[in-house]
Amino acid sequence: MPFVLDGLALEGGSHGTDVGALRASIEEGRLALHARERGRAERKRASEGRGARAGGDGRRSAAWERRPSPSPSPSPFFVGNGLTARVSQMAMSKPKTKATKAKGKVRSAVKKAVKKVGPTTPRTVTPYLTLNDATSAIQWYKKVLGAKVVTTQPAGPGKLMHAALRIGDSELFLSDMFPGTDMVDASRAGASVTVHLWTKNADKIWQNAVANGAKVTMPIDDMFWGDRYGRFLDPFGHSWSVSTRSKLSKKALEAKRIESMKQMGAPPS
């Protein structure tokens, strides 16, 4: 059953229509409509140009010649099994209201908050420290390393069964020692693992740690491998290393490498 779209007869219907043929018919109608509108615009331009020349104004005619051709009309689209008339793109785009703007601000704030807090789940590898005084350790890590508390699970007065801290984009787990555990007190037995901290300002964290009771085990210095690196023990016996990129030139780093190889008794390569 034929129907009319902007004065053009197209073949189609709401039921039992061949979709491919209907789409081809729609496209033909759209092109014909565009050609008709373009021809109408050209005739109008020519008519106004002749009027301008008759009046002695050549500039208006030239301006009309430079005007771009009208853009083609948007294609019609399907809804369910039927065909609707073509809809203007401008009509389809709704103006932003106060409600939509408010929703956009909320979504933006949520994205910023998620990005600021970091991942909601731990990284693939997460250090888990056991201490004699986890509560005091948390305060020290907050003050020196800039840690933020994610969660704590108390287990009696002054004891923590579990705690999660966020340092930069990573998490650190820790807990108090309890009777029957196979863990050892690092402050007595010594640390066997070093937790490495990469930061933009290693010297600032280093000075802050030393000022708050950290014990230096390797003074911070520009190392031959290209990092400014140092290591210390926190007041709870755990070992930390801190580093950032060295600002030394390649020549100075190479001289440090040769000197380090000599000290270790290894021939420089």
**pLDDT tens-digit profile of 163-202?**
999 999 999 999 999 988 888 888 888 888 999 999 999 9
Please choose, from the candidates 175, 174, 169, the residue with its C-alpha nearest in 3D space to the C-alpha of residue 121.
Answer: 169
What distance in Å separates the CA atoms of residue 74 and residue 32, rounded to the nearest whole number?
13
What distance in Å separates the CA atoms of residue 10 and residue 29, rounded to the nearest whole number?
7
Q: Give the bridge partners for 8, in sequence order.
A: 5
- 3-state secondary structure (DSSP) of residue 29: helix
CATH number, span 189-269 = 3.10.180.10
What's phi and psi for 85, nearest 5 deg? -70, 160
What distance in Å separates the CA atoms of residue 248 and residue 257, rounded to the nearest whole number?
12
CA max distance for the chain: 107
* Assigned token pair, 51: 């009027």
- 3-state secondary structure (DSSP) of residue 40: helix
Helix (H) or strand (E) holding 83: strand 82-83
261 has a pLDDT exceeding 80 = yes
For the chain, the first-to-last Cα distance in angstroms comes to 87
Over the Cα atoms of the chain, what is R_g?
A: 37
Is the CA virtual torsion 125, 169, 231, 247 positive or negative?
A: positive
Worst-scoring range by mean pLDDT, 68-82, 131-145, 237-251, 253-267?
68-82
83 has a pLDDT exceeding 70 = no
* Assigned token pair, 235: 């007041």
26 has a pLDDT exceeding 90 = no
Q: Tokens 């287990």 sit at which residue?
A: 155
Please choose, from the candidates 228, 218, 231, 217, the residue with its C-alpha nearest in 3D space to the C-alpha of residue 253.
Answer: 228
Residue bearing the bigger pLDDT, 59 or 44: 44
Q: Domain ranges in the chain?
A: 2-92, 189-269
Q: What is the pLDDT of residue 269?
A: 64
* Average predicted confidence (pLDDT) for the chain: 76
Q: Tokens 């509108």 sit at which residue?
A: 37
Q: What is the pLDDT of residue 201?
A: 92
Q: Angle of helix 58-66 relative to helix 19-54, nearest 10 degrees?
A: 170
